Amino acid sequence: MPLYVGDYLGDTGHLTTTQHGAYLLLMMHYWRKGELPDDDRQLSKIAKLPLKTWCDYRATLQDFFYEGWKHKRIDAELAKMMRVSEKRAIAGQKGGLGSALARMKLENASRSRPAPPRAIAVQPSTEATAGADHSHSDSHQSLSTDESPGETRGRAAKPEIAVSPELAAYVAKRTT
């Protein structure tokens, strides 16, 4: 609930502290519920005042309301809030629909495209890569020509994985 302090203080300078509290509680209830009951017992509970005190303040507080317990400024703010909320909901729906359409276009485009050809690994062309164990993600593995193909340092032999010459050259450069 927006509270325009300058307007509020300009309109309520004559209220006591207790009347300020009661008026603010009435406005907050009105903001949340959209109305106030036309019943002194309920209004005294909303204002958190004993019924006798409420009855003493009722006329002063009712001056801020019209047609019983309607509040002009809060009604205007509620209407404004509803307009903004509706605009945001519409914009959100448009944005959501746009995103969904874009996703659908991408999915449809990817389904209609032929799959890219798969890269085929070439057997290593240098002896430096022949004995390398590429079955682990250890990027600091050395490529040594001292070992025979398929032999790994103290490990059980594993089948070799074909490596492109470009990758072999890159690994060789990184490990020297």
pLDDT digits (tens, 9 = 90+) for 52-87: 999 999 999 999 998 889 999 998 888 888 888 788
d(CA 27, CA 32): 9
Q: Quickly state the pLDDT bin for 136 (edges 50, 70, 90).
A: low
Is residue 36 left, alpha or beta, with left meaning phi > 0 and alpha meaning psi from -120 to 50? beta
pLDDT > 70 in the chain, percent: 69
DSSP class of residue 163 equals -
pTM: 0.51
In DSSP terms, which residues pair with 70 in a beta bridge?
A: 66
Task: Annotate 104-128 with DSSP letters as a single string.
Answer: HHHHHHHHHSPPPPPP-PPPP-SHH
φ, ψ dihedrals at 96, nearest 5°: -65, -40
Residue 20: pLDDT above 50?
A: yes
How large is the greatest C-alpha to C-alpha distance in the chain, in angstroms? 104
